[in-house]
């Protein structure tokens, strides 16, 4: 396999040859993976969850979990044979020459050690002239402490001297990820492995993290192994890409080659599954099925069961690695003899089914929210007196018509989820009005059956001790839906078929399903009581692009069939462009801009909206100017005076610091903005 498109005269930082990792006594998890990474190069491993990307990285770090072992392969890093070194020797490499940023920083940081202690621990282990890691009662050793502050400054953490003495729970998700990067950079690594470093982060924080990695790479020539399932992140950061499926590399090419002409049907399907404005009104080309279980395919192409271009040979013979115009691919379509023999049998993909967007409903608004406030009291002292308020939602007004989708976007902590829960009365509202189908919900005992919520993490929101049938029937029984048990079971069977699951799956437990299937169960549970409006809280944020396409297709078809309305809470702006009719942009508990999806996405008015859009990675790899926001989201317990966005706004004026801007209208489509840059009269 040709592992690089760069000149072979460049000595690689890492050469991995035919790595095999398998369960002890079981099938391989990683099967014959080979690639190389040159100095200053970013190599991206791309693929769905369960393809073996993270296990490849753990094998390189020699951190494989119990029950998993490396069976074959070699890894050379600047003359060192990583798999032949003793554990003592590997300890000097791990965290020094080679470091790793793990996917979940909250689980990777020690909760009982300060940020400074955790960074200096790595510094003392890998700097010349080892220093004791023990810390005195008065604090950290002066030289280590100073270097720790420098690293925190380097990764963009404000007030680094104070943050060094704080614990992980005192930091936001983005800050914790930056601390992880600081720990990884402490040993000046020649190779940095970043395993999904931006998953579940806001687009603004994601842009900052990726910019930091690029700048560090430019400064010291560090090689970067980037593990991700986000094609936009790959397009803007990778030099070369390896596409991984079911433990094997199925395609490898430069970034430009892969994005201009993907070869493998799996790679082509990943691109076709991406949502966006260009596909709004079409059914996304979702990949049917799931990644096959380990060891289930002993011969033939592992993608054949999900491939619409497969023929007989694909199920009988494992494809060899083939070189095509400087690219590598594992597919029978590109082996000359096999391709000729299969021409008569090949089943090519049909055109992506399309259709016009469902017409905007002309019915009156189904949900009307006026000046909704959700404030949480701050208690202090022995008598727990109220000394302040956390203004999570601070005067929000919006409306959703029948059959329409309103997207609510903004950074984490701006109040999106709190607003959704307040609409369902899962959190009491402090003030304001919520009218649903003409009935006031605040302060009444009206049934909430017509409003249901699909939560972000389906595994956490499904009871692990209950079978699917019991989960779906629970709400129906509570609201007296269905004449008897038999009628409810018949309704459950219909629901499962509607969301694309087999009827007999109702007797299984949540842990027996994939992430996408669990999200389908969560949607079926919400539909069980025949709602008219679904509040979807980040329902696709942790899903692979192929599974995301399946869920978006399902939501779109349910809206067309049942006339459902959606309040779609998300930070994925590509999903907004595909699914939503209207958008509200939220910042620190308030709506700062609203309008049709086309208006807000193509002609944003508010500086915050522009910054959000500038931070979104694009698969075309360019055409945007990133607007970096200074600082972090202010605390809702102490919001800034005047415009809440003014302390971070590059266009702030004197009036912004004293007066909160009123609403200004733009155009005839109801595009409005709260910003002093625009006069109160019609623009």
pLDDT value for 46 = 93
pTM: 0.83
Q: How many domains are contained in the chain?
A: 3
- 177 & 308 share domain: no
- 574 & 625 share domain: yes
- What is the residue range of 123's domain? 14-238
Residue 486 lies in a domain: no
Average of pLDDT values for 275-301? 82
- 556 & 408 share domain: yes
- 268 & 232 share domain: no
- 441 & 564 share domain: yes
Residue 586 lies in a domain: yes
φ, ψ of residue 584 to 5 degrees: the values are -120, 130
- Higher-confidence residue of 203 and 668: namely 203
- 217 & 334 share domain: no
Residue 144 lies in a domain: yes
**pLDDT, tens digit, 9 for 90 and up, residues 80-136:** 999 999 998 998 898 888 999 987 777 789 999 999 999 988 888 766 434 343 443
Residue 576 lies in a domain: yes
pLDDT value for 434 = 94
**Of the spans 6-10, 60-64, 129-133, which averages the highest pLDDT?**
60-64
468-478 and 515-527 helices, crossing angle to 10°: 20
DSSP string, 60-80: HHT-PPTTEEEEEEEEEETTE
Could you give the CA distance from residue 375 to residue 353 in angstroms, rounded to a whole number? 46
Could you give the CA distance from residue 583 to residue 339 in angstroms, rounded to a whole number? 48
- 195 & 116 share domain: yes
- 55 & 132 share domain: yes
pLDDT value for 623 = 57
Question: What residues pair up with 452 in beta bridges, in sequence order?
Answer: 534
Cβ atoms of 470 and 462 within 8 Å: the answer is no
Residue 280 lies in a domain: no
**Of the spans 222-226, 386-390, 444-448, 510-514, which averages the highest pLDDT?**
222-226
Sheet containing strand 327-330, strands side by side: 98-101, 191-195, 223-228, 42-46, 240-245, 248-254, 327-330, 321-324
- 66 & 202 share domain: yes
Residue 203 lies in a domain: yes
Residue 464 lies in a domain: no
Single out the residue of 367, 520, 561 nearest to residue 448, CA to CA: 367
**pLDDT, tens digit, 9 for 90 and up, residues 466-498:** 999 999 999 888 888 887 888 999 999 999 988
Residue 680 lies in a domain: no
- 648 & 537 share domain: yes
- 342 & 375 share domain: no
- 126 & 56 share domain: yes
**pLDDT, tens digit, 9 for 90 and up, residues 562-620:** 999 999 999 888 899 999 999 999 999 999 999 999 999 999 999 999 999 998 888 87
CATH of the domain at 584: 3.40.50.300
C-alpha to C-alpha distances, 86 to 77, 80, 93, nearest whole angstrom: 15, 12, 11
Cβ atoms of 618 and 232 within 8 Å: the answer is yes
């Amino acid at each position: 396999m040709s592992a690089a498109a760069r000149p072979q005269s460049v000595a690689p930082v890492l050469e991995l040859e035919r790595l095999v990792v398998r369960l002890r006594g079981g099938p391989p998890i990683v099967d014959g993976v080979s690639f190389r990474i040159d100095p200053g190069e970013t190599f991206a491993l791309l693929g769905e969850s369960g393809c073996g990307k993270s296990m490849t990285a753990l094998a390189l770090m020699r951190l494989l979990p119990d029950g998993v072992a490396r069976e074959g392969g070699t890894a050379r890093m600047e003359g060192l044979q990583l798999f032949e070194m003793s554990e003592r020797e590997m300890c000097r490499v791990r965290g020094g020459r080679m470091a790793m940023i793990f996917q979940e920083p909250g689980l990777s940081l020690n909760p009982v050690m300060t940020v400074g202690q955790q960074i200096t621990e790595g510094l003392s282990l890998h700097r010349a002239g080892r220093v004791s890691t023990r810390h005195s009662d008065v604090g950290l050793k002066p030289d280590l402490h100073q270097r720790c502050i420098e690293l925190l400054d380097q990764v963009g953490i404000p007030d680094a001297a104070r943050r060094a003495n704080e614990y992980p729970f005192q930091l936001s998700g983005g800050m914790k990820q930056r601390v992880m990067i600081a720990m990884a950079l402490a040993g000046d690594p020649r190779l940095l492995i970043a395993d999904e470093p931006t998953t579940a982060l806001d687009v603004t924080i994601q842009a900052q993290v990726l910019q930091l990695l690029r700048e560090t790479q430019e400064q010291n020539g560090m090689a970067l192994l980037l593990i991700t399932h986000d094609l936009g992140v790959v397009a803007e950061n990778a030099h070369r890409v390896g596409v991984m499926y079911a433990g094997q590399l199925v395609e490898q090419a430069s970034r430009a080659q892969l994005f201009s002409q993907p070869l493998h049907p799996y790679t082509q399907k990943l691109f076709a599954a991406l949502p966006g404005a260009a596909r709004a009104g079409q059914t996304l080309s979702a990949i049917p099925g799931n990644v096959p279980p380990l060891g289930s395919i002993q011969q033939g192409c592992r993608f054949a069961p999900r491939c619409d271009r497969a023929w007989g040979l694909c199920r009988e013979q494992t494809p060899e690695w083939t070189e095509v115009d400087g690219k590598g691919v594992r597919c029978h379509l590109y082996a000359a003899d096999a391709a000729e023999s299969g021409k008569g049998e090949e089943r090519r993909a049909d055109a992506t089914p399309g259709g016009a967007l469902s017409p905007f409903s002309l019915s009156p608004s189904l949900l009307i929210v006026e000046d909704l406030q959700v404030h949480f009291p701050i208690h202090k002292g022995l008598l727990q007196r109220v000394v302040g308020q956390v203004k999570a939602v601070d005067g929000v007004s919006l409306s959703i018509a029948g059959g329409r989708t309103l997207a609510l976007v903004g950074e984490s902590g701006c109040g999106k989820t709190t607003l959704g829960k307040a609409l369902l009365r899962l959190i009491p509202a402090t003030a304001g009005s919520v009218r649903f189908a003409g009935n006031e919900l605040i302060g009444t005992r009206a049934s909430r059956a017509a409003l249901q919520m699909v939560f972000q993490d389906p595994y956490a929101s499904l009871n692990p001790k209950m079978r699917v049938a019991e989960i779906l029937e629970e709400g129906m029984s509570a609201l007296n839906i269905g004449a008897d048990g038999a009628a409810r079971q018949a309704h459950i069977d219909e629901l499962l078929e509607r969301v694309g699951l087999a009827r007999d799956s109702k007797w299984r437990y949540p842990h027996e399903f994939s992430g996408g299937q669990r999200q389908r169960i969560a949607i079926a549970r919400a539909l069980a009581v025949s709602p008219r409006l679904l509040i979807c809280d980040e329902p696709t944020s942790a899903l692979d692009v192929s599974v995301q396409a399946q869920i978006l297709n399902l939501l779109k078809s349910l809206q067309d069939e049942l006339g459902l309305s959606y309040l779609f809470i998300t930070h994925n702006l590509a999903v907004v462009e595909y699914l939503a009719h209207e958008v509200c942009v939220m910042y620190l508990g308030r709506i700062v801009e609203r309008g049709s999806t086309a208006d807000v996405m193509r002609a944003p008015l508010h500086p915050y909206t522009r910054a959000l859009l500038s931070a979104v990675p694009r698969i075309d790899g360019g055409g945007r100017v990133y607007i970096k926001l200074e600082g972090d989201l202010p605390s809702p317990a102490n919001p800034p005076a005047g415009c809440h966005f003014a302390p971070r706004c590059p266009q702030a004026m004197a009036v912004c610091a004293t007066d909160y801007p009123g609403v200004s209208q733009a155009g005839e489509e109801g595009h409005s903005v709260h910003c002093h840059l625009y006069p109160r009269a019609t623009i």
